[in-house]
Amino acid sequence: MESSSSLKGSALGKLVVTSGLLHSSWSKILEIHNPPYSNHDPGLQVSKKKKDSGLEFQIHREEKFTLVVFSAPPICRSSSSDSTLLHVKDKENPFPFLCSENNPSFSLHTPAFNLFTSASTSLTYLKSELLQTLKSEKPVIITGAALGGSVASLYTLWLLETIEPTLKRPLCITFGSPLIADASLQQILENSVRNSCFLHVVSAQTRIKMDFFKPFGTFLICFDSGCVCIEDHVAVTELLNGVHDSGLVDYSQVLNRLDQSMLSLADSRLIPEDVIKGIEKRAEMKNLRFDMMFKKLNDMKISMAYIEWYKKTCKEVKIGYYDRFKTQLAFPSKEFDINIKNHHKSELNRFWKSVVEEVERRPQSDASILKRRFLFSGNNYRRMIEPLDIAEYYLEGRKEYRTTGRSHHYVMLEKWFGMESILIEKERCKKRDLSDLLTFDSCFWAEVEDSLIVINQLNTTVGMRDDVREVLTRKLVEFEGYMWEIITKREVSPEIFLEESSFMKWWKEYKKIKGFNSSYLTEFMNTRKYESYGKSQ
């Protein structure tokens, strides 16, 4: 029995061939290369051939879809392997949105890129026109042969930036076109839904040099007796990589042969066994990575439930979960505490680090979808768990967590939440009971610890210079200001006022230094107003 990947490859190939899309595209490509003498097609728009660059395109409005055909002059051999490097920060870069956190730059095939930029004015105009078409629910095919197909690919990539996920995705069909992307761009697209918008038709006899430029999208590889459709780019490389073959392929013939092969019963095996095995292995890995992430999200919620419970039991013995965790770290006693640290906390950290990595691998515009999906659980996680990481950090005798000790994934989660939550209208009720609130600033405890260290320095250093003393005192005043702000904004959990908490320890020390100087905070603390903080009124 043949494997399912091979069946899938051939079924997908048959679907593509019987759908008739290849014929529609190819006939228009023929037309642009050999224009008929009189053209009365009312749906046709022809752009003037640009003398300097030689790029040309036509729009055909068909009944079911709109077709854009690109045509470019034959490629000059000497420049065929030149590449242009584009960085996310380049002003000249038309594709900054494709860059990911991991791949801030990539290179493109220079001849295609130059043709593309040379026509930027008319292409910008075309873009707004196509967007209108897509919004009216009519899909768009962008096509071209040889270098024309490469420009079509570039153009499609560019168009994709402005296409919202709710619109129909365009399809780019190329025939025997040179590859345009380097390994970085291939990697970026591999993790993107954009990859699904490219169909490259190639004859199996063609050999493509793949030492610098890499394939992306789906390939329809045409043999004499049939065809296969493959997305796996490693397999595509295995099947097509080789010394450049200058022999021109006539795709009219290739398509005709495909048509005939549809009716025949021949079931020849088109792809070697080992290539198929590779495809299967990689598909499985990719699925696993994805399934894991979503399945795990639920396991993570369970771990969060454990930690929520931990927080609750701590409150009952008048100590916040932050301080309880800190003392338990120093003197572990109960199994439950150890479990929290070794199991739940570390599982949660590992999971969220991998989510952040996954997001960073994607193009910026794709990543936002994933971010939104994980937004609230990620934020909840950060507010709940980061204090525990802070506890570990200060117990090791270190300081200044926010600037020197913070893990990258917390920074990113906070950044994303900040960006996304602006979009959500917030209406916080003044009367609400805050007892289950998680402190908004997940680095709150680091501020408290740093401030405690400052007090300690002031109290224990003998013969401190006045200017040093002044700097340290200013730090304390700044912290007081910060405290008062989050209290008035009701953004801090009432747990910090529990008797045994580090914050209360800070207050006792701070009171001595402050003496009789009165402020909002001292008044709030001295008159024990904090006891009613966060209670529902």
Partner 1 sequence: MAFEALTGVNGDLVTISWMASKGANQTEHYLKEEVGGTVFFAFRASFSSEDLFATENTSPFGEIKMKRNQFPCMRSIGNDVDTTVNEAFLKSLEVLIGPRTSFHASVQSAVDRKQQVVFTGHSFGGATAILATVWYLETYFIRDAYAAPEPRCVTFGAPLVGDYIFKHALGRENWSRFFVNFVTRFDIVPRIMLARKTTIEQTLSYVLGKLDSTRAPIHESDQVITEFYTRVMRDTYTVASKAVCQLIGNGEAFLETLSSFYELSPYRPVGTFVFSTQKRLVVVNNSDAILQMLFYTCQSNDEQELSVIPFLSIRDHHGYEELVQSIGIKLLNHLDLHNPLLDGENSIGSALDDLGMSTRARQCIHAALEAEKQRCQAHKNGYYDSFKDSNEENDFKANVKRVELAGIFDEVLGLVKKGQLPDGFEGSRGWINLATQYRRLIEPLDISNYHGQLKNEDTGPYMLHGRPSRYKYAQRGYEHDILKPTGMIAKDVFWSKVNGLNLGLQQDIQEILKNSGSECGSCFWAEVEELKGKPYEEVQVRFKTLEGLLEGWIKDGEVDEKEIFLEGSTFRKWWNTLPDSHKIHAPLYPRERMMDETRAT
List binders of partner 1 among 319-358 (CB under 8 A). Answer: none
Closer Cβ to partner 1, 392 or 420, answer by number: 420
Contact call for residue 260 and partner 1 (CB under 8 A): no
Of 40-48, 348-356, 421-429, 442-450: span binding partner 1 (CB under 8 A): 421-429
DSSP letter for each residue of 256-289:
HHHHHHHHS------S-HHHHHHHHHHHHHHHHH
Distance of CA 377 to the CA centre of its chain: 17
Contact call for residue 132 and partner 1 (CB under 8 A): no
Contact 184, 102 (CB under 8 A): no
Q: What is the spatial distance between Cα 172 and Cα 164, in angstroms, rounded to a whole number?
A: 17
Distance in Å, CB of 158 to partner 1, minimum: 17
List binders of partner 1 among 175-204 (CB under 8 A). Answer: 193, 195-197, 199
CA distances from 458 to 130, 477, 495, 516, 519 (A): 68, 13, 27, 18, 21
Distance in Å, CB of 509 to partner 1, minimum: 32
Contact call for residue 273 and partner 1 (CB under 8 A): no
Q: What is the spatial distance between Cα 203 and Cα 225, in angstroms, rounded to a whole number?
A: 12
Nearest to 391 by CA among 473, 311, 318, 302: 311
Closer Cβ to partner 1, 46 or 302, answer by number: 302
Q: Dihedrals φ, ψ of 442, to 5°?
A: -70, -10
Contact call for residue 301 and partner 1 (CB under 8 A): yes
- In sequence order, what E strands does 304-445 have? none
List binders of partner 1 among 363-392 (CB under 8 A). Answer: 376, 380
User: From the list 126, 141, 391, 413, which residue makes contact with partner 1 (rule: CB under 8 A)?
Assistant: 141
Distance of CA 7 to the CA centre of its chain: 32
Contact 410, 382 (CB under 8 A): yes
**What letters, b where the CB count within 10 A reaches 16 and e where it falls short, cover 239-249?**
bbeeeeeeeeb
| Six-digit token string for 532 | 């009613």
Distance in Å, CB of 318 to partner 1, minimum: 19
Contact 167, 207 (CB under 8 A): no
User: From the list 40, 77, 426, 465, which residue makes contact with partner 1 (rule: CB under 8 A)?
Assistant: 426
Closer Cβ to partner 1, 28 or 406, answer by number: 28
Contact call for residue 7 and partner 1 (CB under 8 A): yes
Q: What is the spatial distance between Cα 363 and Cα 192, in angstroms, rounded to a whole number?
A: 7
Contacts with partner 1: how many residues (CB under 8 A)? 57
Contact call for residue 290 and partner 1 (CB under 8 A): no
Determine whether 491 is exposed, middle or buried from the number of CB atoms within 10 Å of its CB (0-12, 13-18, 19+): middle
DSSP 64: S
User: From the list 1, 243, 422, 462, which residue makes contact with partner 1 (rule: CB under 8 A)?
Assistant: 1
Contact call for residue 283 and partner 1 (CB under 8 A): yes
Contact call for residue 432 and partner 1 (CB under 8 A): yes
User: From the list 76, 305, 411, 468, which residue makes contact with partner 1 (rule: CB under 8 A)?
Assistant: 305
Contact call for residue 287 and partner 1 (CB under 8 A): yes
Closer Cβ to partner 1, 21 or 446, answer by number: 21
User: From the list 52, 77, 91, 265, which residue makes contact with partner 1 (rule: CB under 8 A)?
Assistant: 265
Contact 173, 202 (CB under 8 A): no
Contact 439, 492 (CB under 8 A): yes
User: From the list 76, 302, 411, 477, which residue makes contact with partner 1 (rule: CB under 8 A)?
Assistant: 302
Contact 195, 217 (CB under 8 A): yes
Distance in Å, CB of 60 to partner 1, minimum: 14
Contact call for residue 169 and partner 1 (CB under 8 A): yes
User: From the list 97, 212, 306, 440, which residue makes contact with partner 1 (rule: CB under 8 A)?
Assistant: 306
Nearest to 417 by CA among 467, 379, 385: 379
Site string for partner 1, 12-51 (x = CB under 8 A): x-xxx-xxxx------------------------------
List binders of partner 1 among 56-85 (CB under 8 A). Answer: 64-65
Q: What is the spatial distance between Cα 153 and Cα 377, in angstroms, rounded to a whole number?
A: 37
| Six-digit token string for 12 | 């997908």
Q: What is the spatial distance between Cα 39 and Cα 414, in angstroms, rounded to a whole number?
A: 59
Of 31-39, 294-302, 464-472, 523-531: span binding partner 1 (CB under 8 A): 294-302
Contact call for residue 430 and partner 1 (CB under 8 A): no
Closer Cβ to partner 1, 15 or 292, answer by number: 15
Of 5-13, 32-40, 396-404, 407-415: span binding partner 1 (CB under 8 A): 5-13
List binders of partner 1 among 200-219 (CB under 8 A). Answer: 218
Q: What is the spatial distance between Cα 66 and Cα 36, in angstroms, rounded to a whole number?
A: 20
Which spans of this chain sit near partner 1 (rule: CB under 8 A)?
A: 1-2, 4-5, 7-8, 10-12, 14-16, 18-21, 64-65, 139, 141, 168-169, 171, 193, 195-197, 199, 218, 231, 262, 265, 267, 283, 287, 298-299, 301-302, 305-306, 308-309, 312, 376, 380, 421, 424-429, 431-432, 436-437
